[in-house]
Amino acid sequence: MTATKTLIYDGSFNGFLTAVFAGFEQKLPFADIQKERSAQNGLFSETETIFTNIDIAKRVWNGIKGRRNSAIKNIYFSFLSGEKNLEPLLYQYIRKIMGSKHVASDFSDACILKISQTAQKVHREKHRMEAFVRFQLTKDGIYFANIEPDFDVLPLISKHFKERYADQPWIIYDLKRNYGLYYDLNGVEIITMDLSHTLENSIKKNTSLVTEEYDYQDLWNNYFKSTNIKSRINKKLHTQHIPKRYWKYLSEKKEAV
Amino acid sequence: MGNASNGICHSYSEDGRCISLLKILLTNHCIYDCAYCVTRRSNDIKRAAFKIQEVVDLTINFYRRNYIEGLFLSSGIFKDPDYTMERLIAVAKKLREEENFNGYIHLKSIPGASDELMYEAGLYADRLSVNIEIPTISGLKLLAPDKKHEDFAKPMRKVKNEIIRFKEERRLLKSTPKYAPAGQSTQMIVGATGESDKDVMYSATHFYKNFHMKRVYYSGYVPISNDTRLPSLGTQVPMLRENRLYQTDWLLRFYGFSVQELLNEQYPNLDMQVDPKLSWALRNLHHFPVDINRAEKALLARIPGVGMTSVHKIMKARKFRKLDWDHLKKIGVALNRAKYFILCDSRYWERRDMDAERIKGLIISTSYGKFRNQYSNQLSLFN
C-alpha cells in the first residue's frame, strides 16, 4: 500500500499552491490535500498542516506557467469550482504537467479530462455572470448588484466589469460567499458588508434606489415582453438558457419569481 | 464607457432567442408596401416614432445597468431612404461622440441609401446590414414591388468596398478611422414564397462569397396577414426548417462542406428527419467508415455526431494513445449517430453491412430530437 499523506491548507489558492510545493518537495506520488475546515484524517495517513507562503506559491505558479501557460487557467478555474475532493486530483494534474508539458492535451486521460471539464464549468458560470448581473442605481450614485453564482467567480469577472464600466462606480456582491467587489473609479477592492436587506426582485420599491431606476426596469420589462414572438414560444429552451436559480435577480423575470 | 466583447446574451426571450442588443425601430412609418411586413403602408396600425435623444437615453441607461451589449437600430422608411439613413446615423453619432459610448452599434442600411451616407454610417457602427428578406428575385417582385434588387445590392457593395479599403489603408496608416469593424450581415425570410432550400443556401453562399458577409440569418416566416400571395394566418412557423438551414450554414462555414455537396438538382431540399451532415453521410457511405485514429482533420469533421470541439480533442488525444469507444464517449462524441461511421481501437464495428435506409431508421428510432413530433407519424395521445 502506498502511504498517502494528508496536507491541510487554509482554503486559499496560495495555500493550495504552497501545499503542492510541499508535496513535490517530499516527492509524494499522491497527496491528499484538504481544506482546514473540512479536513478528515485517513486512518493510516500522516497529516501535515501547511502554512501559506506567498513566495512559494508564486514559485509554483511561475513553474507551471513556464511549463504550460494554458494549464494555469485550467488549474485556477477548476480550483474556484470549490468542488469537494478536487485538490488531490489537481495535485495529480500538476504532477502530470510538470512531467511532460504535452499531456495537458491528452483528453483520453481521465484526470486531464476531468480538470479541463471542471474549468469549463467555471468558465461557463463566469460568462453567465457577465451576462446576468443587473445593476440598480442607488441614491449615492453607485450601481449595485447582488449575485449568487454556483462557483466563486468574482475574481474572474472583475476585469470585465472594470473595463466595461470604467466611468461609473459599482458594487457586485456575492451573497452566497458574503463578499463583493467595489469599483470607485480608481480601482477594484474587495469588501464585505452587512446587508440587512438584499436587492432582490420584489414588487415593493426600495427606498435606497433613485426613483427613475424603476422606470428603466419597467421599460426593460416591456421590451423583454414585446421582443418575444408568441408563435415561436419555447419555454424549455428559455429555462435552459436562463436556469431558474438566476431569476431572483433579473428584473425582467420579476413577475415570474 | 463600454467595450464590445464577443457574444454576451444578457437575457433570453420566452421563445428561446438571445437578447443581447436593444433592437428597435426608430419608427414604424413606412412608404413601402411589402406584403411580408407588419409596418407596410397599407396596414392599418398605430404609427409612432422615437426622438433621437430618446433612443440615446434608453441605450445608455440600459447599458449602464448591464441589460444589453449595445444598440441594434432599424427603421421604417419615412420620406425617402436617405432621410431615414441620416437619422439612424445621427443616433449612432450622438452615442459615440457625446456619450463616449464604446459598446456595440448595429445599424440597418436602408435599401437605396446613398454611398456617402453608407460611408458615414460605417464610421460609427460596428456592423451594418441590409436584409435581403426574399431569397429569389422573382419572389421579391411578387411581394415587394416597390423595391428593386439593385437597391439592396448597392449599399452592400459600398460597405464591402469600404471595408476592403479600410484594411488596406490601415496597413499603411495606423490612425485610419475604423470602418464597420464587425463587418456586415443580412437576413432572409424562409417559407414565404415557396423557395427551395437550395435557393436559400445558394443565395446565402453568394452573399458570403461576393459580399464577404460575416453572417447570413434565416428567419422562418411568421404569418401576419391574409394576403393570398403569402402563407395564411395560423400557418406554423417553419422552425425545424430554419434549424436545418442554420445547420447547413455551419457546415459550409466551419466544416469544409461546399454547398453543392449538400444541396443540388437531385436534392433541392434538406431532409427534415435528420441533420444535413448525417443526410450527406447516408448518401455517401463510400467515404466511411473513417478511422478515428488515423484520418485527417477534414475527414473527421465530416463524421455525423462529431462536432469541431470533438475533432479538436480527438486530434490532440490520439497522439497519446489509440482511442476506443469509451474515450470517444467521454470526449463528447454523439455515438448514437457516429458509431455507424467510424472505426476505432476496438474490434467491434457497428455498421457491418447495413444500408443507408437501415442506419437512418436505427438512428431515428433511438434519438429524441426536440422536433421529433413534427415529423413522426405517430400521433401523440396528449397533444
DSSP for A1-57? -PPPEEEEE-SSHHHHHHHHHHHHHTT-SSEEEEESTT----SS-EEEEPPP-HHHH
Nearest in space to A122 (alpha carbons), one of A71, A76, A173, A162: A76
pLDDT confidence tier of residue B231, bands split at 50, 70 and 90: confident
The upper half-sphere exposure of residue A150, i.e. CA atoms within 13 Å in the direction of its Cβ, equals: 17
Element (DSSP H or E) covering residue B148? none
pLDDT over 90 at B140, yes or no: no
Q: What angle do CA B102, A151, A13 make, to 5 degrees?
A: 100
Which residues of chain B make contact with A252, given a CB cutoff of 8 A?
11
Which parts of chain A sit beneath pLDDT 50?
1
pLDDT digits (tens, 9 = 90+) for B91-120: 999 999 999 999 999 999 998 899 999 999
Measured distance CA(B224)–CA(A31) in Å, rounded? 66
Cβ–Cβ of A107/B66 closer than 8 Å? no
Whether residue A201 is found in the same domain as residue A225: yes
Q: Is B275 helix (H, G, I), strand (E, B) or coil?
A: coil
pLDDT confidence tier of residue B28, bands split at 50, 70 and 90: very high
Q: Which of A69, A96, A124 finishes a domain? A: A124
Instruction: Tell how strand B184-190 and strand B290-291 pair up.
Output: unpaired
For residue B115, the distance in angstroms to the closest alpha carbon of chain A comes to 32
Cβ–Cβ of A235/B14 closer than 8 Å? yes
Nearest in space to A95 (alpha carbons), one of A178, A7, A29: A29
Cβ–Cβ of B13/A216 closer than 8 Å? no
pLDDT confidence tier of residue B353, bands split at 50, 70 and 90: confident
* Integer CA distances (angstroms), B164 to B131, B161, B168, B184, B285, in order: 21, 5, 6, 12, 42
- Nearest CB neighbour to A229, from listed B15, B58, B318: B15
Measured distance CA(B110)–CA(B108) in Å, rounded? 6
3-state helix, strand, coil in chain A (%, to 5): 50, 15, 35
Q: What angle do CA B106, B112, B115 make, to 5 degrees?
A: 75
pLDDT confidence tier of residue B383, bands split at 50, 70 and 90: very low
Q: Is B61 on the interface with A (CB under 8 A)?
A: yes
Residues 120-149 of A with CB under 8 A from B: 127, 130-137, 143, 145
Whether residue A112 is found in the same domain as residue A145: no
- Which three three-digit cell numbers place residue B163? 471595408
Q: Is B216 helix (H, G, I), strand (E, B) or coil?
A: strand
B6, B14, B23, B25, best to mutate vs chain A, most A CBs in 10 Å: B14
Q: What angle do CA A104, A106, A107 make, to 5 degrees?
A: 110
For residue B118, the distance in angstroms to the closest alpha carbon of chain A comes to 28
For residue B157, the distance in angstroms to the closest alpha carbon of chain A comes to 31
What's the structural domain count of chain A? 2
Q: Which of A124, A144, A167 finishes a domain? A: A124
Measured distance CA(A53)–CA(B136) in Å, rounded? 69
For residue B240, the distance in angstroms to the closest alpha carbon of chain A comes to 11
- Which domain does A73 fall in, by range? 5-124
Domain boundaries, chain B: 11-258, 276-370
- Nearest CB neighbour to A216, from listed B65, B222, B320: B65
Which residues of chain B make contact with A255, given a CB cutoff of 8 A?
none
* Integer CA distances (angstroms), B360 to B132, B301, B336, B354, in order: 36, 19, 11, 10
A130 to chain B: nearest residue by CA?
B8
Instruction: Tell how strand B342-343 and strand B290-291 pair up.
Output: parallel
B222 to chain A: nearest residue by CA?
A231
Whether residue A114 is found in the same domain as residue A167: no
What ipTM was assigned to the predicted interfaces of this complex? 0.89
Contacts of B62 (CB under 8 A, 6+ apart): A216, A219, A220, B22, B68
pLDDT digits (tens, 9 = 90+) for A226-248: 999 888 888 999 999 999 999 98
> Counting Cβ atoms within 10 Å, is residue A29 exposed (0-12), middle (13-18) or buried (19+)?
exposed
Nearest in space to B17 (alpha carbons), one of A30, A241, A169: A241
Verify cis geometry, omega within 30 degrees of 0, for the bond prior to B289.
Answer: yes
Quote the distance between the C-alpha of residue A47 and its chain's center.
29
Residues 160-189 of A with CB under 8 A from B: 160, 163-168
CATH architecture of B11-258: Alpha-Beta Barrel (3.20)
- Nearest CB neighbour to B317, from listed A106, A134, A229: A106
pTM: 0.87
pLDDT over 80 at B368, yes or no: no
- Dihedral over alpha carbons A4, A8, A12, A14 (to 10 degrees): -70
Are the beta carbons of B184 and B211 closer than 8 angstroms?
yes
**How many Cβ pairs closer than 8 A exist between chain A and B?**
123
Whether residue A10 is found in the same domain as residue A34: yes
Cβ–Cβ of B15/A133 closer than 8 Å? no
For residue A223, the distance in angstroms to the closest alpha carbon of chain B comes to 8
Are the beta carbons of A132 and A172 closer than 8 angstroms?
no
Whether residue A104 is found in the same domain as residue A150: no
Contacts of A120 (CB under 8 A, 6+ apart): none
